[in-house]
Amino acid sequence: MTGRERFRPADHSNDHFLLTTVVGSYPKPTWLNRARDLRDDDDSSDFDADAWDEAVRDASRAITHEHEHTGLDVVCDGEMRREEMVEFFAERIEGYEFNGPVKVWGHNYFDKPSVVSEVAYDEPWLLDEYEFSTDVAQRPVKVPITGPYTLASWSFDEEYGSEETLAYELADLVNEELSRLVAAGARYIQIDEPALATTPDDHAIVGECLERIVADLPDDVRVGLHVCYGDYSRIYPEINDYPIDEFDVELANGDYEQIDVFADGDFEPDLALGVVDVHTTDVESVEQIEANICEGLTVVPPERLTISPDCGVKLLPRNVAREKIENMVRAARNVEAALDAGEIDLDCRTV
Amino acid sequence: MEQFATTVGLFPLPDGQRERLAELKGHQKSDLIDGDEKPAVREAYSATQGHYIDRQREAGLNRIVEGQGRWDDLLAHPLCVHDNVRTGGIVRYYDNNNFYREPIVTGELTPNGDVPAELAAASERCDDLHAVLPGPYSLAGLASDEHYGSFAALLDGVAGFLAGEVAAFPDAVETLTLLEPGFTTDPPDAATHDRISKAIDTIAAASDAEVIVHTYWGMAGEDLYRHLLDTGADGLGYDLVAAPDAAGDLVAEYGAPPRVLLGVVDGQNTLIEGRETIRERVRRFEERAATDVKAAYLTPNTGLFHLPVSKFEAKLDALAAAAGGAQ
């Protein structure tokens, strides 16, 4: 079984199967943030690296199980080891250095790194995260990983003089990391490329990066691409040519104004559709999410529709994040049952 | 050609003040500057301005900018603190991973004295100030309008507003640079060129200081460039980092004004240019110019808030070293 059916739980109650999953990040437990403060406090000599590792493992276990309790079909650990989507990887890639925070907006900053020499693979990036969460999970685990185009775009380039060249070099490193993850058993990978939304004219560069990323990967590895908050008419239908199994996109935030971009009948990959907004603490009702899921059925049939939040949910309060995901899973199961019963047709029209 | 080192402002907040201001103000959209700050916030920004001036002096810059630490909304700041403007959602700042509150113009843009007050405070510490403002086309382009009814009318309104602000600048302001990235990110159509020229004339007429119009992330098109050569501005700026060839082609074909601003260090990359790199960029420009250039301000091509503090300071030092060596 190489398709998405292998992610169907053995006890799945409906004939139809709308694969439910997350994009990646999840709110960190408050105590983990306190543990980080202790780790970073030079005066706290009794909180050492071992204590930090234990705290991270505890958080990873707790969030993986929290995902499973919501009923998700494919889970992850909410990226408990990661603080920021570029920083985490830049810290592990040879050739990067950090010079301090830079402004994103208002008083919100991130440690934008500089590439100061040729980038090279040094140590595994996500192997610990994947192996630990797989070990504690009963459900299959997805691995979200920041894509090379975003790693290049959101860094200062002192070495290559060409963002395109840097992106391709980084794509080769992502490929190396994936080969290790796949050897460890990973079969569901999600490449996160939010920078593509900033500069959609670079869609061909992202396409070439993806070709390098998937080179020599076994056919049974499911590869998704996540993009968010962009003008999708500028990258579709070009994404049909990408070597991906699934395209994951946020559209709940924009009330599905752009769904028609993809609904031309020629959409090639599976669609992973965001059905809850991660930028509002209002928890969408099950009925509202069912209607959102139906938007996806205008693009792909149920067997090609994956259900997820718009984006990582880490900025939400933890209880809100959990309630949104619980409602999302309930809504997906309700739509499956309605499809089974013939109460709605494949365009989500009530029969 | 005389050479002077300066910058085009928009500095990153210094270490220490960055954390203090975040604590005092918060991280949300509603916490940003509205022109009515509480005393502790004002004190923190005053200290920031003092630090900027001291650091520019230490580097040896020839013209000192106020630094615009308060400009949470980057070039949109002068509108975002205006009484007849409300701020909307967070929107992307050009093609960068930066965001600002969209200013929505709801009434007449009367001068409000916000920028003159910043410069007046700075003028107590130095008499060789370089004021930096958004140009009228770019500022109008960053806003949305519910009052003027057309972009042309909004542009006229913004020009009148900026002219009113400029007229209230202290005598210590010797140079005023108008930043016009919009000329390259959203090039105006030919029908708008005359109106842009008039808008710049309006501001230049209100200024006792020399006025320079600087374009970056590329260069203005040929027709707009010819218009800019004929305005009341005293000089033009050229981005010799992002568009050295386009800048060279324009000055070879149409010449350059006697005073220029040359963006010779990259405001968006941590790589620090050496003195020879900077001099080579200046030399190539001078060689290609069809007319004599009397004086050049050496600056970063963009504002410097894109950089971490240590690299921002290194850029100041690099500019001063290049200009100092040339004098």
Which pLDDT value is given to residue A198?
82
CA–CA separation, A271 vs A250, rounded Å? 11
pLDDT tens sequence across A5-20: 999 999 999 999 999 9
pLDDT tens sequence across A240-255: 999 999 999 999 988 9
Please give the ipTM for the structure prediction: 0.93
Which pLDDT value is given to residue A108?
87
Residue-averaged pLDDT of chain A: 95
Which pLDDT value is given to residue A3?
80
Contact B31 A195 (CB under 8 A): no
Contact B270 A114 (CB under 8 A): yes
pLDDT at A1 over 80: no
CA–CA separation, A223 vs A2, rounded Å? 12
Three-state DSSP state, A101: coil
Residue A29 corresponds to which tokens in the numbers above? 């437990």
pLDDT tens sequence across A262-284: 999 999 999 999 999 998 889 99
pLDDT tens sequence across B276-310: 999 999 999 999 999 999 999 999 999 999 999 99
pTM for the full model?
0.91
Residue A105 lies inside a defined structural domain of this protein: no
Supply the angle between the helices B309-326 and B39-59 in degrees, to the nearest 10: 40
Contact A103 B98 (CB under 8 A): yes
Residue A165 corresponds to which tokens in the numbers above? 């060249």
List the Cα angle A332/A334/A340 in 5-degree steps: 105
pLDDT at B327 over 50: no
- Who's near B37: CB < 8 A, 6+ residues apart? B45
Three-state DSSP state, A108: strand
pLDDT tens sequence across A70-95: 999 999 999 999 999 999 999 999 99
CATH no. for residue A138? Answer: 3.20.20.210
Among the listed ranges A102-111, A237-246, B128-137, which one has the minimum average pLDDT value?
A102-111
Which pLDDT value is given to residue B45?
97
| Residue of chain A whose alpha carbon sits nearest to that of B93 | A105
Three-state DSSP state, B212: strand
- CB of B44 within 8 Å of any CB in chain A? no
For the residues A221-239, what does the mean pLDDT come to?
93
pLDDT bin (cut points 50, 70, 90) of residue B113 is very high
Which pLDDT value is given to residue A197?
87
Residue A268 lies inside a defined structural domain of this protein: yes
Check: CB of residue B294 under 8 Å from CB of residue B259: yes
For the residues B171-179, what does the mean pLDDT come to?
98
| Residue of chain B whose alpha carbon sits nearest to that of A229 | B92
CA–CA separation, A34 vs A28, rounded Å? 10
Q: How many residues does chain A have?
A: 351
- CB of B89 within 8 Å of any CB in chain A? no
Phi and psi at A102, nearest 5°, equal -125, 155
Phi-psi region of A28 (alpha: psi -120 to 50; beta: other; left: phi over 0): beta
CA–CA separation, B285 vs B219, rounded Å? 14
Three-state DSSP state, A133: helix
Domains held by chain A: number: 1
**What is the sign of the dihedral through the CA atoms of B268, B269, B274 and B279?**
negative
CA–CA separation, B247 vs B222, rounded Å? 10
Residue A282: DSSP 8-state: S
Which pLDDT value is given to residue A40?
87
Cis, peptide link before residue B257, omega less than 30° from 0: no
- Who's near B276: CB < 8 A, 6+ residues apart? none
Contact B269 A157 (CB under 8 A): yes
CA–CA separation, A292 vs A302, rounded Å? 13
Residue A286 corresponds to which tokens in the numbers above? 């099950």
Residue A73: DSSP 8-state: S
Number of neighbouring beta carbons within 10 Å of residue B325: 12
For residue A102, give the nearest of B22, B92, B307 by CB distance: B307
CA–CA separation, A280 vs A277, rounded Å? 6
- CB of B311 within 8 Å of any CB in chain A? yes
Check: CB of residue A298 under 8 Å from CB of residue A263: yes
Q: Are strands B235-239 and B210-214 parallel, antiparallel or unpaired?
A: parallel
CA–CA separation, B72 vs B75, rounded Å? 9
pLDDT tens sequence across A20-31: 999 999 999 999
Contact B271 A107 (CB under 8 A): no
Radius of gyration of chain B (CA): 18
- CB of B91 within 8 Å of any CB in chain A? no
Residues of A in contact with B32 (CB under 8 A): 106
Residue-averaged pLDDT of chain B: 96
pLDDT at A2 over 60: no
List the Cα angle B74/B79/B82 in 5-degree steps: 130
- Who's near B88: CB < 8 A, 6+ residues apart? B101, B102, B103, B104, B144
pLDDT bin (cut points 50, 70, 90) of residue A349 is low
For the residues B260-283, what does the mean pLDDT come to?
97
Check: CB of residue A19 under 8 Å from CB of residue A74: yes
Number of neighbouring beta carbons within 10 Å of residue B95: 11
Which pLDDT value is given to residue B40?
96
Instruction: Burial-class residue B144 by CB neighbours within 10 Å (0-12, 13-18, 19+).
Output: middle
In A137-162, which residue ranges form alpha helices assigned H by DSSP? 148-153
User: Domain residues for A279?
Assistant: 4-82+123-340
- CB of B24 within 8 Å of any CB in chain A? no
Q: Which of A99, A103, A111, A151 to mutate to test the interface with B (most CBs of B within 10 A)?
A: A103
Contact A107 B26 (CB under 8 A): yes
Query: Identity (one letter) of the amino acid at B40?
Result: A
Domain boundaries, chain B: 2-326
Which pLDDT value is given to residue A339?
96
Residue A152: DSSP 8-state: H
Shortest CA gap A115–chain B (Å): 9
For the residues B242-259, what does the mean pLDDT come to?
98
Phi-psi region of A64 (alpha: psi -120 to 50; beta: other; left: phi over 0): alpha
Radius of gyration of chain A (CA): 20
Check: CB of residue B13 under 8 Å from CB of residue B19: no
CATH architecture, domain B2-326:
Alpha-Beta Barrel (3.20)
Please choose, from the candidates A102, A86, A112, A84, the residue with its C-alpha nearest in 3D space to the C-alpha of residue B18.
A102
Residue A117 lies inside a defined structural domain of this protein: no
